[in-house]
Each structure stands twice: as structure tokens, then as C-alpha cells.
Chain A
Amino acid sequence: EVQLVDSGGGLVQPGGSLRLSCEASGFTLSAYAMTWVRQAPGKGLEWVSSIGYSGEDTYNGDSVKGRFTISRDNSKNTVYLQMNSLRVEDTAVYYCAGYIVAPRRQYFYGMDVWGQGSTVTVS
């Protein structure tokens, strides 16, 4: 079965740190670019960070720039999100997701595999 398993969430005080992990099973992680998407309580989806297939390119949303770092270890089939200087407004469910993009064709195949979500509470 193709799946992503998120872990590492929890309760942390403002200014603290957490590291989320996302382990893939049933498929080869290196076939996907990976991303983290979060959802604050009762709110919509917000893109957080993305990383290219081999980890050479990373991108972060404005709200987390300079505080969050995405990385991956394809040998362990795992993606990470290191979250530092956490704020109350970072409280959310964090989902990892995998996607495939073909820039030369200007085509994006959607985020078609998702983790179950990891809850982060900053309080």
C-alpha cells in the first residue's frame, strides 16, 4: 500500500522547536518532490515548504521563512520539517504530501499522496 506516515507533532512553548518526519512506504520517495501543507484549526490549507526530488531545491512560504527547514533522506524514504522559533500562529495540523511536476511541459500532476497529518500545538 502506498502511504506516507507523519510523526513528531506535539505541544511546545512559543520559541521552541520541533522536527516532523514523514516516512514513505509502498513506493520510492525519490520519485516524488515533497511538500508540507498545514491547516490551522477551522481554517483552510496553507502551503509551508517544498523540496525537489533529490533535495537540491527547497522553497518556503513567507510565514515560515528563516524559521522552518525542509530536508529529505531518500535512503531512509523520509522527509523532515525542522521547525524553530515556533509561534502560537504555527498551531496546525501538518500534512506531508508528494507530487510530480514536469516543468518543461508546464504540467503538475497534483499532490496525489498524503500523510495522515501531525498535530502541532504552540502554547
Chain B
Amino acid sequence: EIVLTQSPGTLSLSPGERATLSCRASQSVTSGYVAWYQQKPGQAPRLLIYGASTRATGIPDRFSGSASGTDFTLTISRLEAEDFAVYYCQQYTGSSFIFGPGTKVDIK
């Protein structure tokens, strides 16, 4: 069974800084099946990235995704006030979905 590990658990940064969020899969996965979501308190998740690196409709270009083997990265180039939230990576297995535990990005 694939396990997704996200690091760090919490990232404390200031507006304008760069955020680098990591998601590691416990075994080989298909990068085309990896997505990233943002969730704010009391709200449903919002799709940011699919296919490991393609931005969803309406997502600002300060968000980018990349993949290297079993390592996936979400980068926010310059944090804005509305970006402080929890971020989840997700893997589609062909018949199920696996979510990582999340990384909280909070204001330093």
C-alpha cells in the first residue's frame, strides 16, 4: 500500500517568502496521478495542481509543482496573505485515492 509522507508538518514563513512543500511516496507512483490541494479553515479543499505539475484553472502562477521519482514538490514562489493554509498531496491509484497528512503554512 502506498503511503504519502508530507514534510514539513508546519512551515512558518512571512509574506513574500518562498515556500517549498514536499510529498514523498513510499513506492513508485505514476506522476500523472498526483495532485495538490489547498484547504482553508471551514472550507472545502481547492485543486491547485494536477498531473504533478499542471496548474488548475484560475490558479496563480506563483504556484508550481514538480516531480522527481517518488518525490513531489509544491512551490509557492512568493507567499501572499491568502496562501496561508493547509496543503495536501494526493495520489490516484486507479481505484482509490490516498492523501498525505498535510503541511500547514502559517504566518511567522
Beyond A44-B102, A50-B96, whether A108 also contacts B35 by CB under 8 A is yes
Is B44 a contact of A108 with CB atoms below 8 Å? Answer: no
Is A111 a contact of B45 with CB atoms below 8 Å? Answer: yes
Chain B residues lying within 8 Å of A110, measured Cβ to Cβ, are 35, 37, 47, 49-51, 56, 90
Q: Chain A nearest CB: distance from B9 CB in Å?
A: 11
Q: Give the docked Cα–Cα distance between A35 and B35 (Å).
A: 15
Chain A residues lying within 8 Å of B56, measured Cβ to Cβ, are 110, 112
Kindly identify which residue among B32, B50, B97 contacts A106, using a CB–CB cutoff of 8 Å: B32
Is A95 a contact of B33 with CB atoms below 8 Å? Answer: no
Which range holds the interface residue count of chain B?
20 to 34
| Chain A contact residues, CB within 8 Å of chain B | 35, 37, 44-47, 50, 59, 61, 95, 97, 101, 103, 105-112, 114-117
Is A114 a contact of B97 with CB atoms below 8 Å? Answer: no
Chain B residues lying within 8 Å of A97, measured Cβ to Cβ, are 44-45
29 A-B residue pairings within 8 Å (CB atoms): A37-B97, A44-B88, A44-B100, A45-B37, A45-B45, A45-B88, A45-B90, A46-B99, A50-B95, A50-B96, A59-B96, A95-B44, A95-B45, A97-B44, A97-B45, A106-B30, A107-B32, A107-B33, A108-B32, A108-B34, A108-B35, A110-B49, A110-B56, A110-B90, A111-B35, A111-B45, A114-B46, A116-B44, A117-B44
